[in-house]
């Protein structure tokens, strides 16, 4: 079996897992989103957060947005990731609500439109958030994460590898995206947990 440290093997596994989640029916996706959000609501990292980032799902990603009304009732400020212009594939996090002007980025994903001055004033770096809910392509039983391959979150969260205050990182995925084991790369930023529609997987206390 080809090692998952091999780039070709990683690409093949990404394709396989993306096909799996995209094969879910609309009803299965909707139920998975509701079950995911129920599991998320029980996490202390979610319950304590006053500033939280989530994402708008694409390409079969599990949908965390049913949490939006719950956050609103709890007066939690919600942020979305936005591609930083003139930077090396990293992210800002911009405040989001129902009336936020949106625009598609170069990947065709909707994000808050930072051409508006109000949106630029409402952007934060990752370290200023309490908790980030991040998408992933695959995960294992130690909460190791396989991302999309672009390194956007790893670059934006690289400061966390140096220690000091940092947000909680919660990966989310469909249960069918769990695999037996994933390699840990030097640039990987560890998650606190991965939450699926079926379970919560906590990270090992010590990451290798």
Is 115 assigned to a binding site? no
Is 151 assigned to a binding site? yes
Is 148 assigned to a binding site? yes
Residue 145: strand pairing partners: 139
Closest among 145, 139, 181, 151 to 3, alpha carbons compared: 181
Is 152 assigned to a binding site? yes
Is 14 assigned to a binding site? yes
Is 10 assigned to a binding site? yes
Q: State how far the Cα of 130 lies from the Cα of 126, in Å rounded to an integer.
A: 9
- Yes or no: say if 190 and 169 are a contact pair by the CB < 8 Å rule: yes
Whole-number Cα distances in Å, 91 to 34, 59, 208 = 27, 20, 26
Q: State how far the Cα of 3 lies from the Cα of 16, in Å rounded to an integer.
A: 16
Residue 178: strand pairing partners: 139
Q: Can you point out the beta strands (E) in the chain? A: 51-53, 77-83, 91-95, 102-104, 110-112, 123-124, 131-135, 138-139, 145-146, 168-172, 193-195, 200-202
Is 145 assigned to a binding site? yes
Is 11 assigned to a binding site? yes
Closest among 115, 82, 117 to 96, alpha carbons compared: 82
Tokens 């952007």 found at = 123
Is 138 assigned to a binding site? no
Binding site residues for ATP, as ranges? Answer: 10-14, 145-153
Binding site residues for substrate, as ranges? Answer: 56, 61
Binding site residues, as ranges? Answer: 10-14, 56, 61, 145-153
């Amino acid at each position: 079996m080809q090692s998952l440290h091999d780039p070709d093997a990683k690409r093949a596994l990404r394709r396989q897992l993306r096909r799996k989640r995209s094969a879910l029916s609309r009803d299965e996706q909707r139920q998975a989103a509701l079950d995911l959000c129920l599991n998320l609501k029980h996490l202390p990292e979610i319950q304590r957060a006053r500033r939280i980032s989530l994402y708008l799902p694409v390409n079969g990603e599990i949908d965390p947005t049913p949490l939006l009304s719950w956050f609103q009732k709890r007066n939690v400020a919600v942020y979305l990731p936005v591609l930083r212009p003139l930077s090396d594939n990293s992210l800002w996090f911009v405040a989001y609500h129902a009336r936020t002007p949106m625009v598609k980025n170069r990947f065709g994903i909707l994000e808050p439109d930072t051409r508006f001055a109000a949106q630029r004033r409402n952007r934060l770096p990752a370290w200023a958030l309490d908790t980030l809910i991040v998408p992933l392509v695959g995960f294992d039983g130690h909460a190791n994460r396989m991302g999309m391959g672009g390194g956007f979150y790893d670059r934006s969260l690289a400061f966390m590898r140096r220690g000091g205050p940092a947000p909680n990182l919660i990966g989310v995925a469909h249960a069918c995206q769990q695999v037996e084991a994933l390699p840990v790369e030097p640039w990987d930023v560890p998650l606190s947990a991965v939450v699926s529609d079926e379970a919560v997987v906590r990270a090992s206390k010590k990451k290798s």
